[in-house]
Amino acid sequence: MLSGWYILGEEAAAFEREYAGYCVVGHCVGVANGLEALRLVLQAWGIEPGDESSCPPTPTSRPGWP
């Protein structure tokens, strides 16, 4: 953090490499928030605007969630 690079810096790249190794995968991409993560996954799956999709009406399907 002393470098002043909070995004796109060597620390972020090192984290991505180390986390990919921890998860035993070839690559890891750090994102700023959940919306960016969801957009990245949809893009990776080839889902585009106008494609039909379905999702639960609430963010969790756990019984008893208020």
66 inside domain: no
3-48 pLDDT, tens digit per residue, is 776 677 888 899 999 999 999 999 999 888 989 998 999 999 999 9
pLDDT tier at 58, thresholds 50, 70, 90: low
2 inside domain: no
Per-residue DSSP letter, 26: S
The total domain count for the chain is: 1
37 inside domain: yes
Q: Quote the domain boundaries for residue 29.
A: 10-44
4 inside domain: no
14 inside domain: yes
39 inside domain: yes
Largest alpha-carbon pair distance within the chain?
Answer: 47
